[in-house]
Amino acid sequence: MAALTPISRKPLSLVIPCIAGAGGLLGLFVGTANGSGLLGIVIGAALVSLMGLFFIFVLKNETTAKWISILFVAGLGFLFGGVPGVILGAIFGWLFHWFIYWTYEGRYRARLLPYLTPGQVLWHYTFLFICGAIFVFLITPILVVMPLSFNAQDFFTFTPEMLRLDPEGYSLKHYRDFFTNNEWQRSFKNSLIIAPIATIISVSLGTLAAIGLSQSHVPGRRAIMAILISPMIVPLIISATGMFFFYSQIGNWLEGTLGFNKTFVGYVKVVLAHAVLGIPFVIITVTATLVGFDRSLTRAAANMGANPVTTFFRVQMPLILPGVISGGLFAFITSFDEVVVVLFVGSASQKTLPWQMFTGLREQISPTILAVATILVVISIGLLTVVEMLRRRSERLRGMSPS
Amino acid sequence: MKAKLTAFAVTTALVAPAAIAEEMTIVSWGGAYSKSQQLAYHEPYTAKTGITIINDDSSAEAVAKIRAMNEAGNVTWDVVDVVASDAMRLCDEGLAEELDHDAVLAAAPDGTPASEDFGDLIVSDCFVPQIVYSTTFGYRTDMVGDTPPTSVCDIFDLEKYPGKRSLQKRPIDNMEWALYCDGVAKEDIYDVLGTPEGVERGLAKLDTIKDSVVWWTAGAETPQLLADGEVVMGSTFNGRLFSAIAEQNQPIGMLWDMQSFDLDGWIIPAGLSEERKQRALDYLYFATDTQRLADQAKYISYGPARKSSAPLVGKHASLGIDMAPHMPTDPANAGNVHIYDYEWWADNRDDLDAKFQAWLAK
């Protein structure tokens, strides 16, 4: 993006406090880790201010300053944290250099509108900082899990070998355990059986319900809607207790009177329970898409002689498909992530992945859980990417610009 | 499209069960313990009979779940591993099958009937004893200096061993240890604990370390906390500590003083069909014979419940070390033990649990 505003160098009275603040922030973390947060702030602030003065008055060459900054902070990092410290130090060295010049040269103004007051500029960057911080807090717990899953030990611990980046400290044994251990394989297979079938049921019933409820002539549709959405609102543990007794009766009847196999009945119970949990998500997303659906299209189709079923599949369905797909994704994730209901309704032969992870965490604290979590995160990212790409492709084909 | 998908789903759902062979669900505690059962009992049994065994690691909530299953008329478990006190409760409530031990269990190799071979360990008619385990302490060898703790009372000594310690979140054992370290003689512990002043005294002793205690509920937590160095010492089951020390080479030492002995074993839930009950009994006959119980000790350091199994306890299956010195029952470890009184706790547990929880919340 081109610059919107001409930039000029800023006075030291603005630059020094800014870069000292940045240094103090890092100093706070390093200092707390080493015993004294306050001392860390003071040293960090002083160090970065001195670096700034040195670059501005002595060096005057930005490229040299960059390398000096990277090497200097990487060296400091080595003193505190060994090899990983060097990597972090190098990153922060680059960041400090960038920040010093960014403030000093006034580059922060370049991409903002010229008429903004200093207060608005400050708020703009504070806002970005808060957004970044929220993002970090959301994503860190997921990222922490990934390196731990390569631990060579059977504990949730960053061992000294791992922190030294010593290959000895890392191993794929937890991944091997996941792929060779019967319990994990069985639960993985169960999840892959239960979640898709439950999703198909939720999507079919949920879409039908949403279309029915969007007709203005249906009596009591608000009440029906409230009842259908209730599984989402009622605390899960309560639905689960109710489902346990309800499906026990149904299961006994299926086994005793109709003579079905016990394991098969077990799957039916869990699939139905998960389908009930998934339906509200489908109803909500499809209802939302139907708001933008032009009713005259169905009347036009009827006018041309199409019966309601043909109209649905040929006219209405393609237009509300994005809502149906995202509802289906939610239903799939609900079933795939669900642990409470399956603990109540299922028996051990329907043990799903979350159940196995749950008991694993409570009983054995095995890093295999982390390996599985990493695999699941990768699969989820892949799944979402594929769906998003398909959606954009279909929009492009239909001549709309992707949003 | 959708119709096809549905048809596909229905077909997979119908075809899937056909591929599943005869199976039974065995409930246990998970972790290293379930693994030892898997290797010593389940795998040989599957090899012999072809019956698939499904592990359900739900023993911690066995009593509640068996109650609910019984109420709903839908018992999905075949054999359940529980501690002795849970077995007594389930038996009293009619939720576990009563067994004639001599008729359904194998005799010892020399012909001694099962009831004599297990002896006093058969604490309930429904209970088939499997192991003797103990709840005891482990400590970080690198965090206690040159004077490792030797007495259970070192737990209460914050000056000599500063730092956090982990204790189980229940009154059992903790109250006894507290009273013992407050100067009550070992044989008087339950008499003192039976009085309101005794309970106050025990809680007051625990109060002295309350701020330094991490409370655990699952057996795996203390080994994890010790491995992280988050606690200096902590109580857990001796087999968990053995596996952290011997199999995972953690800097942890054992403190056997005043270890608390307990029993663990099998029950068969009431309300199984005759066919499933026979299968469960067949499994129990196989899994609790003299050789099988001794085999389990190859994988975990719990003492087999049969007298005739003790001489057969050999070396660890993969490490090749002698298992006998790691057993809670080994004379070197059992110098000063605490015999946990089931019957006293069966009568007083609800009352003390309430008081203990109230104290925790204070």
- Does the predicted model carry a pTM greater than 0.80? no
Q: What are phi and psi of B25, to 5 degrees?
A: -105, 120
* pLDDT at site A400: 61
Q: Is the pLDDT of residue B336 over 90?
A: no
pLDDT of residue B21: 55
- Chain A residues closer than 8 Å to B51 by CB: none
CA angle B195, B206, B143 (to 5 degrees): 150
Listed by number, the residues of chain A in 194-213 with a beta carbon closer than 8 Å to a beta carbon of chain B are 196-197, 200, 204
Q: Tell me the C-alpha distance between A166 and A163, whole Å.
A: 7
pLDDT tens for residues B43-76?
999 999 999 898 888 888 888 889 988 988 888 8
Q: Is the pLDDT at B202 greater than 90, yes or no?
A: yes
pLDDT average, residue stretch B253-277: 91
The per-residue pLDDT for range B139-193, each reduced to its tens digit, is 999 888 888 899 999 999 998 899 999 999 989 999 999 999 999 998 899 999 9
B290: left (phi over 0), alpha (psi -120 to 50) or beta: alpha
**ipTM of the complex in this document:** 0.72
Q: Whole-number mean pLDDT of chain B?
A: 87
CB spacing of A153 vs B227 below 8 angstroms: yes
Q: Given an 8 Å threshold on Cβ–Cβ distance, is B228 in contact with A157?
A: yes
Please tell me what DSSP assigns to residue A11: P
**pLDDT tens track for A18-30:** 888 888 888 888 8
Interface check A181 vs B, CB under 8 A: no
CB contact under 8 A, A263 and B31: no
* Mean pLDDT in residue range B128-135: 92
How far B24 CA lies from chain A's nearest CA (Å)? 9
Which CATH number does A182-366 carry?
1.10.3720.10
Q: Is B273 an 8 Å CB contact of chain A?
A: no
CA–CA dist B51, B20 (Å, integer): 10
Residue of A nearest to B24 (CA): A349
A337 touching chain B per CB within 8 A: no
Domain spans of chain A, in order of start: 12-115, 182-366
Q: Looking at residue A401, what is its pLDDT?
A: 55
Contact partners, residue A148, CB within 8 Å, separation at least 6:
A156, A158, A367, A370
pLDDT at B16: 43
Name chain A contacts of B76, Cβ cutoff 8 Å: 266, 347-348
Q: Are A349 and B219 inside 8 Å of each other by CB?
A: no
Token output for A332: 């799939």
Q: Does residue A359 sit at the B interface (CB-CB below 8 Å)?
A: yes
How many residues does this entry show for chain A?
A: 403
Q: Which residues of B touch A245 (CB under 8 A)?
A: 71-72
As a whole-number percent, the residues of chain B with pLDDT over 70 amount to: 94
B211: left (phi over 0), alpha (psi -120 to 50) or beta: alpha
| Distance, C-alpha A228 to centroid of its chain | 27
Q: Inter-chain contact A362–B58, Cβ cutoff 8 Å? A: no
Position A68 scores a pLDDT of: 86
Domains and CATH numbers, chain B: 21-132+263-325 (3.40.190.10), 134-262+334-361 (3.40.190.10)
Whether residues A204 and B2 touch (CB distance < 8 A) is answered with yes
Q: How many residues does chain B have?
A: 362
Q: Give pLDDT, residue B236.
A: 92
Handedness of CA A121, A123, A124, A126 (dihedral sign): positive
Task: Say what the pLDDT of residue B17 is.
Answer: 42
Chain A nearest C-alpha distance from B224 (Å)? 6
- Asked if the Cβ–Cβ distance from B248 to A267 is below 8 Å, we say no
Confidence of residue B11 (pLDDT cuts 50, 70, 90): very low
Residue type, A7: I
pLDDT of residue B318: 79
3-state secondary structure of A36: coil
Q: Does B27 touch chain A (CB under 8 A)?
A: yes
Which residues of B fall within a CB distance of 8 Å from A286?
Answer: none
Confidence of residue B2 (pLDDT cuts 50, 70, 90): very low
Low-confidence stretches of chain A (pLDDT < 70) are 1-4, 363, 398-403
What is the pLDDT at residue B14? 45
Give the number of A-B residue pairs with CB atoms closer than 8 Å: 100
Region B16-45: what's the mean pLDDT? 80
